[in-house]
Amino acid sequence: MKVVNDGDKSVSYGGRFTGTVELEMLHATPTDAEPDTALVHFKDGAVTFWHLHPGGQQLFVVRGHARVGTVADGEVRIAPGALVVCPPNERHWHGAAVGNDATLLAVTWGTTQWESTAPE
C-alpha cells in the first residue's frame, strides 16, 4: 500500500494549457500498463490543448465547474461530482468553465499524445 498526502506540484506542466494550471501528480507509474493519477487545478477558464490517451482517461470533477470537449460533442459543461470517461484514443480537451476555477482528478492510461493547439 502507498499513501500519498501531497503530490509533486508543477505550475507550468508541459506548457500544454491555456491560462494558469497547477498539476499535482499523486501517483506516476513506471509503465503505460498502469494508470497515472493527478489532481489538476485549472484557474478561470484555463483548458488543456487537444490531446489523446492510448489507454483512455477518466476525469472526476472534485470542485468548481469544468468543461470538456470533443469534435463530435463540442463543449460540454460538467458540474462537481461528474465523471467523464474518455475511451482510448479519443481526441479531447478539458479544463475550467469560463468564469470558474475547477479541480479535476485525472486517471490516465498511457503516455499523453499532445497536439500544439488549444480549442477555439
Domain boundaries, the chain: 9-112
What is the residue whose three cell numbers read 462537481? 80
Distances (CA, A) of 12 to 24, 61, 67: 11, 21, 20
pLDDT digits (tens, 9 = 90+) for 22-80: 888 888 888 888 999 999 999 999 999 999 999 999 999 999 999 999 999 999 999 99
Q: pLDDT grade, residue 10 (50/70/90)?
A: low
Distances (CA, A) of 110 to 37, 53, 97, 99, 101: 11, 6, 26, 31, 27
| Whether domain 9-112 has CATH 2.60.120.10 | yes
Mean pLDDT check: name the lowest of 10-14, 79-83, 116-120: 10-14
Give the distance, in angstroms, between the CA of residue 18 and the centroid of all CA atoms in the same chain. Answer: 13
Give the distance, in angstroms, between the CA of residue 7 and the centroid of all CA atoms in the same chain. Answer: 15
* pTM, full prediction: 0.90
